[in-house]
Structure 1
Amino acid sequence: MPISETVISEAVARYDRERDRYIKLASRVADLCRGAVVEDNAVRAQVTSRTKTVKSFEGKLRRFSRRADKNFATVDDVFAQIGDFAGVRIATYRPEDEARVAEAVEMLFCGSDGGAIDIDLKDKLKPAAGQFYRATHCQVHLPENDLVGNYENLRGASCEIQICSMMAHVWNEIEHDIGYKPEGEGPSDAERGLLEALGHLTRAGDAAITRLLAANIARMAMQTGDFADVHDFVARMRPYFPDADLSVNAGLAFDEALALDLVSIDKIRARLGDDALSPAIAAPKIQAFNAYLDEQGLSDLALNPASADLFTIAMLEADVDAIVANHAGGRGKGRPPRIFYLARAYKEFAGKQPATDQVV
């Protein structure tokens, strides 16, 4: 049954009234993705957000009204089934980072019932058939602890996060406008042929970017002196932790290293000793601290022994008082950063160790 004109007009009017809410949601989700997903995990990516315009929404409903599989009997049906009023895109430099980003998104947000988010890997890659669409679609809600203050009215509103490589994004967007929303009778043979040629170029571009970044990492690993940025930090620390994915939680480790003036490998060795660069020494310390966190009901703070947390534990052991002082009272806007809660818990943990085993 086609969507009635009454439902279309009432849905459009409702969205016009509520659009500011979705603008706020898209902006908040994008900010969280930039920080906790991209920066904290040292992923090279661009995060953008958008909110569907009223005109675009009306056009979508009118296209749906011509499809037998789209049955919206009421305005509530429309808002329950359309999930892209607010949208965020995370375009990674490398396609290899897409899965890591999706995992971080899954940990950061929740579904409509507070449980797991909906994830849909739309991998339609069939070059022989001229198909090159590839992206991961995540339907997310803000978790309860984010629905406070100015964001309290976002409860129940969902945002679509699309994850793909930058090169895939080029093809996806152009194909969407020419193929998915075609004017007239659809793409001509010439258009389809050029879309296919573009698809092959974007795949070649993905491969070239991956090789380029690998060469960049190899060069940075040979550098000396102060770390230039978090990517330089990860590249130069990686030889000491070869079995860990140092990009994970690298943002926290790098930011705290800068705050403690541990701005180079030489300074790390001079202040913390070679043990700070030993995964064999760090892993059991993480295990003991995580066990304590679990006993205290703080398992959400647990360190990851296959990540840059292998270095974070060394900083906690050596300079926990300085770390607590650096973030005392949660200076700045919003809640204190995760490192503050980690340092506070670690200080309590260290104080409960036998005198011969104290780490602080």
Structure 2
Amino acid sequence: MTEMLDQSLAEACTNECHRSFDRLLKLQLRIVDKLESELRERKIMARVSGRVKGRESLRAKLLKWVNDEEKAKLFSDPRDVFKYVGDLAAVRVMTYVEQDRERVANIAKEIFTHRLGREDFEYEVKESSPRVKSDDANYYRATHMQICLKEADLTGHSDNLADDHCELQITSMLAHVWNEIEHDIVYKGDRTQLSTDELSALESLGLLTKTGDNIIVNLMNANARRVMEQHTKLVHASKEMLDADALSSFLEGHYGTKLFSHSQAIDYWKNNEPLSLALRHLGITHPHDITSTFTPSRLYEMRKTEWPLFKRFLERNGYERQTPDINSCDLFLLSLMPENSATLAAFPHTGMGPKPRQIAFAHRWEAFLSSR
């Protein structure tokens, strides 16, 4: 077999990938489904799409690499196409607001895994790359990662996807518009051939996308405030908060997304149901009672002092299931434990499944207290 990529090997690689089209399509659809479900649960507004690289597109890419010595010498076998072409399967997440890009990337790191030997997910913020930073007219903004399904997801029809990876592209919707137009006009062609009008229009569009991001953020914030004001009126009228999503809206409105400086934002919609059930069991359902229970000092003490000790206790004793996520509603749930763990632990659990989250945490806190 040839020692590097040439026209013959490029054709063989193309054919090898084409024979695996159905498998790659299955991977792409599985990843889209998992992301859509997770983003919906976290209340992140975004659109998810995917594709498998077409035969002609792959052939053109490989033939271009034939003339790139660094890339060409990577190939010696048709199956090398799966190793060195990162976007055979690709999924794109387009967020409504630019600020959600990092949140989506962190979620991807939670629910997927990385390629063997690539523990950083091959994470790249494209606008920070030298190629983009050195070009004032380049407004490309996206985060790229390589992701694989976790072992737990390699079951049933997905059991043959263990060796496959997918490129995840995360961008805002407005940045996506510029990225796509630039890709079709510039990346696939020759920038030196563009007219002054084309270059000027591309730059104007790039500036507009940045302005548009700010407008969308202001619009979303204004909408959230209006909804919150309406919801607060309803809450105070009923004097009780019995719905998990209503609780999340109230907590976010009262405490703010960035609860502590120099810390990760709190996801108030993650694990909100166990917190809601615990508060209802303890009779803490009125907004005044909730804010009196979760004082800033109480939350700070849990996060900075008690949580690190409790986390070490859990790790030392092998508590792996239902691990607390301190950047979610679990922070509030754990803050109930110093004064209420015995009451919550005594709540009866029926059924054959695992203990509800609030009861499991209470039992672990009681064990933690006994160990001190």
Write the deviation string for residues 181-238 of structure 1: whole angstroms up to 9, x where unpaired. Answer: 1289854333222211211111111121122223333334434236777974554343
Matches within 5 A, 1:288-327: 289-298=310-319, 301-313=322-334
Superposition pairs of residues 1-360 of structure 1, within 5 angstroms: 3-36=5-38, 38-71=39-72, 72-113=75-116, 115-123=119-127, 129-182=136-189, 186-222=193-229, 223-224=231-232, 225=234, 232-233=249-250, 235-238=252-255, 242-243=259-260, 248-256=266-274, 267-269=285-287, 274=291, 276-282=293-299, 283=302, 286=307, 289-298=310-319, 301-313=322-334, 329=353, 342-343=357-358, 345-350=360-365, 352=367
Q: How far 1:55 sits from its partner (Å)? A: 2.9
Taking the aligned partners of 2:151 and 2:85, their CA distance within structure 1 comes to 22
Q: Is the 8 A contact 1:246 1:308 kept in 2?
A: no
| 1:128-171 CA distance string (max 9 Å, x none) | 73210121110122223332333221111111111122111111
The 2-side partners of 1:304 and 1:275 are apart by: 23
Question: Do the aligned partners of residues 348 and 229 (structure 1) sit closer, same or farther apart at CA in structure 2, a change above 3 Å counting?
Answer: closer
Cα gap change, 1:128 to 1:112, in 2 (>3 Å): closer
Confirm or deny: 8 A CA contact 1:247 1:308 kept in the other structure.
Answer: no
| Corresponding residue for residue 239 of structure 2 | none
Could you say if the C-alpha distance between residues 231 and 190 of structure 1 is closer, same or farther in structure 2, counting changes exceeding 3 Å?
A: farther
Secondary structure class of the residue paired with 2:47:
strand
- State the TM-score, normalizing by the size of structure 1: 0.77
The Cα RMSD (Å) is 4.0
Q: State how far apart, in whole Å, the 1-side matches of 2:369 and 2:137 are.
A: 66
* Aligned partner letter, 2:108: V
Single out whichever of 55-64 and 154-163 deviates more from structure 2: 55-64
For the residues of structure 2 that align with 1:22 and 1:62, how far apart are their CA atoms?
22
> Does the CA contact (< 8 Å) of 1:41 and 1:249 recur in 2?
yes
TM-aligned CA deviation for residue 117 of structure 1: 1.5
SS at match of 2:170: strand
State how far apart, in whole Å, the 1-side matches of 2:162 and 2:27 are: 10
Distance 2:286 2:257 in 1: 12
**After the TM superposition, which of the residue ranges 196-205 and 281-290 deviates more from structure 2?**
281-290
Alignment-mate amino acid for residue 243 of structure 1 = F
* Aligned equivalents of 2:159, 2:348: Cα separation in 1: 32
- SS at 1:84 equivalent: coil
User: Judging changes above 3 Å, is the alpha-carbon distance between structure 1 residues 75 and 34 closer, same or farther for their aligned structure 2 residues?
Assistant: same
What secondary structure does 1:118 align onto? coil
**CA 1:186–1:3 in 2, change beyond 3 Å: closer, same or farther?**
farther
**Secondary structure class of the residue paired with 2:211:** helix
CA contact (8 A) 2:344 2:359 kept: no
Distance 1:127 1:258, change over 3 A: farther
Instruction: Report the CA distance shift for 1:188/1:75 in structure 2 as closer, same or farther (over 3 A).
Output: farther
Structure 1 residue 51: deviation in Å?
1.6
The answer (yes or no) to whether the contact 1:43–1:247 under 8 Å persists in 2 is no
Q: Is the 8 A contact 1:246 1:307 kept in 2?
A: no
Judge conservation of contact 1:249–1:308 (CA < 8 Å) in 2. yes
Deviation at 1:179, TM superposition (A): 1.0
Name the CA shift for 1:300/1:275 in 2 (closer, same or farther; >3 Å). farther
**Number of aligned positions between the proteins:** 342
Measured in 2, the distance between the counterparts of 1:130 and 1:112 equals: 34
Q: Is the 8 A contact 1:279 1:310 kept in 2?
A: no
